[in-house]
Structure 1
Amino acid sequence: MESAVRALRIIDTDDGPRGRITDMDRAELTGGDVMIAARYSSLNYKDALAITGAGKIARKRPLNAGIDVAGVVEASEDERFAPGDAVLVTGWQLSETRDGGLADYVRVPGGCVTALPDGLTPWEAMALGTAGFTAALALTRLRDNYQTPELGPVLVTGASGGLGMLAIQMLAQAGFAPVAVTRRVETQGPALRELGATDVIAPDALDLGGKPLGRETYGGAIDALGGAVLADMLGQTVQFGNVAAIGLAASPKLETMVMPFILRGVSLLGINSVECPAARRDGIWRELAGALKPAQLERIAHETIGLNEVHAVCDAIMAGEHQGRTVVDVTR
């Protein structure tokens, strides 16, 4: 049927929510005033949680997976967009309450849509995706709060993942000295140094043994882990440094004291890339098409796959065996 949409759809099974490739009618897509013919999506940790059922990301089901999408407007009731416009969507509850980008078509409210800026192709937009946008948002928040290279090196946790690798290169290109934090120091260290990391350390090297403060060592951090590692980083951040919290891969808990905040003036900055206001979002994407665009983006986004290969990559992500970024060509 002409209105059929091929999608990787999250459905309820006897084993819990799982992603399944299926055909659906375009009329079944969740509501919105902009219809996008999708070209590319990407895979993030959040996508792997949803598709494997390891996390209940899709709050209603069935629902199409994929928190990112880039494509071309097919129809629009929003005067800001016209058929043929190249656009992208990241976050905005895609794959949570709205059908996501791992499908032929996506329908969303116009307020969720970002015009693809000059300087980025649709593939590059998804090579960046939520990971790149989050890294750029974190760097922007750091600099807005007076983070400068002179404060010292900036820790990046989860450094061998796509977000971490993008953050390292963006920080290096902006004149900072990123320090990669990964449990795969031996195997990933050389590659992370080539992206711009000035040092590569294991999370254990940050352990303060439960003390609230250690020696002032790092200018700041971009942290994807949370938990004890985040507390340890706060205790080693220099006076007036900043730590941007972007994830909770290790733990959603934070057990610390107020000492880093009141004795050293350290700031903990929360990063919400899902509902970042549209005006700021548009500005950051323009930066990603210009000064913040990683020079080695094609190396970080090392593979482009079709929908049929998504499950295997999601399994690798959940097993901790995935590196960098994976782009999905939804037309394959």
Structure 2
Amino acid sequence: MEVISRSDIAPLNSVIVNDALHDLGIVKIFSQHPALAQFIPSKSELALSWVRLEKDQELSVHQHPEASLILICDGSGKTLGDTERDIEAGDMVLVPPHSLHGFKGTNDGFWALSIQFNGKALYEDTLQPNVVFKDQETVNANPADVLLKDNEGYLESFRHSRLLSLINSPSINQPEVRERLLDCLQTWSDMFQDLLHIRVAMTLDPAHKKIAFEHLVEELGHNNNLRNQRHTNHSPIWDAAFLSTMEWFRNQMLYKNDMVKTLLMHIVLEGSGEIFHSEASHVFAGMPHFQEHGEDDGSHVSMGIELLSQASPKEIEVLREALSEGWGMITLLCDRFADIACANHPQRATGTCTKTKLAYN
């Protein structure tokens, strides 16, 4: 039998993440002691560390992809981030993957055991620690501001999408390209009306439902306006990728929570619509639908911002992921618009159309 003193384990007091130095208090990783590293079976997948924070010392809010279990062994403190509450000896803090959390020592501070279940401690690789720290500005920011800041990058990327490139190219002057693009837009516009109705029907929170209904009223019949302003009959698009991507949005309106539905509808769909309709209004100058819709989309984006401001820190991480997924899907859908419109037109020196083989057409 052998006794290993806590003082025998080398301490780690700080770490650099994204060029910023972060105070860890004291971290003593078991695997850094030869006897402990040999004694703990590698197949157990346990990573153990002693951690210590003095009175008023903070481990700032951060997140990591691995679940952690923190056993408070001595002293007292408080948790920060998604959940703020006092902790004391005997308490166990369960930290799910990606949750925002931090700690602060109170009274005389505390000692605790930090346990991970993937066989590697969070700070075992000091050059690439398995954590992401949140700066205080981000932690305290209005939730909607955090999302809108993320959204700026997605909006800029969308402005350079294949659909926008097509709209601003000579290829759009080809009658067949124009009509095929309008067929795509009409098919999507009809689906968008379904999404509006589904959102109203499936929204539970009264505040979200009120906005959803107001949005439906303002958008009602826009698909028919587009249909009536065309000089040819609409030919529905039957393309596997096109239809599958539209169905993804239907699935979101059916099964996601109210915050996600509001985010996707107002920030992603109306945000992308505002950019597209503004550009398309110059190309389809004889169709008032595009100018009217572009003007409406800007106000429709703002309809959801107040609701998103009420999101909790935990919800924000879910919404940021949904925002990324939503922009990925609407860009995929719009790129497919461009591919379908250009399917029968080989690339020209001054155009953007490339020959594309459709799965179903």
Shared fold (TM-score, shorter chain, > 0.5): no
TM-score (norm 2): 0.23
Q: Which has the higher helix share?
A: 2
Q: With a CA cutoff of 8 Å and minimum separation of 6, indicate the structure with the bigger relative contact order.
A: 1
Higher strand share: 1
Which is higher, the Rg of structure 1 or of structure 2? 2
TM-score computed with the length of structure 1 as normaliser: 0.25
